[in-house]
């Protein structure tokens, strides 16, 4: 069993975000949210599926404030291993007011997420919490969303998020390592 400090440390994932201007531009633009993954080194795994409930942003940077704007609410499972080498999956899109956003909330459901071995049987994953969990990546600098819109890319690093334990029994831990970047809007 992991201590509370280990769990909190694991949930303090880093966000590499584009710097936003401290002035708030006027207008709003379509912001799309994408999901991708860095390569996963374990060849014996068939899939690493996470169930994404929603992605929201907040201009305040305070997780206790009630100023969240839900940008995507796919409520479906995504295989992170299919999202490598620049491949992304669209989670959703929404018109967002232009400005600086200081917080991201990524909600997933661990009960509906899994790792499956190449032979088809499920791997043991120590999720830490059952059901829906909210991950709040630390945003060190405001993410600037321009009036023409942008792409918000949520990048799970599967190899770091699911460290592999040969001992005691070929199991995985869940230590979310997520990077969020803002990219210019385009096709």
Q: What is the pLDDT of residues 99-154, one digit of tens each?
A: 999 889 999 999 999 999 999 999 999 999 999 999 987 677 888 999 898 998 88
Looking at 4-45, list the stretches that DSSP marks H as alpha helix, in order from N- to C-terminal side. 4-11
| CA distances for 102 relative to 21, 34, 59, 167, angstroms | 12, 18, 5, 40
Two structure tokens written together for 101: 């956003």
Average pLDDT of the residues in 161-170: 80
In what helix (H) or strand (E) does residue 92 lie, and over which residues does it extend? strand 89-97
Backbone angles phi, psi at 85, to 5 degrees: 65, 30
Residue 31 has pLDDT above 80, yes or no: yes
In this structure, the strands spanning 28-37 and 150-156 are: parallel
Residues comprising the chain, all counted: 187
pLDDT tens for residues 61-113?
776 778 899 999 999 999 999 998 889 999 999 999 999 998 899 999 999 99
In this structure, the strands spanning 45-58 and 76-79 are: antiparallel
Closest CA to 71 of 40, 97, 39: 97
Name residue, tokens 């918000």.
152
The pTM of this model reads 0.78
């Amino acid at each position: 069993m992991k201590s509370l400090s280990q769990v909190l440390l694991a949930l303090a994932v880093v966000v590499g975000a584009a710097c936003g201007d401290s002035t708030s531009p006027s207008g709003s633009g379509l912001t799309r949210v994408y999901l991708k993954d860095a390569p996963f080194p374990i060849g014996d795994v068939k899939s690493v599926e996470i169930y994404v409930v929603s992605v929201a942003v907040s201009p305040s940077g305070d997780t206790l404030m009630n100023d969240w704007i839900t940008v995507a609410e796919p409520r479906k499972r995504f295989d992170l291993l299919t999202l490598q080498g620049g491949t992304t999956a669209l989670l959703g899109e929404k018109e967002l007011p232009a400005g600086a956003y200081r917080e991201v909330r990524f909600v997933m459901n661990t009960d509906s997420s899994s790792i499956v071995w190449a032979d088809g049987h499920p791997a043991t994953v120590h999720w830490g919490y059952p059901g829906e969990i909210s991950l709040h990546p630390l945003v060190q600098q405001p993410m600037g969303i321009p009036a023409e819109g942008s792409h918000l890319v949520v990048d799970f690093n599967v190899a770091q998020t699911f460290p592999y334990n040969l001992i005691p029994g070929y199991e995985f831990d869940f230590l979310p390592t997520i990077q969020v970047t803002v990219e210019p809007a385009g096709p």
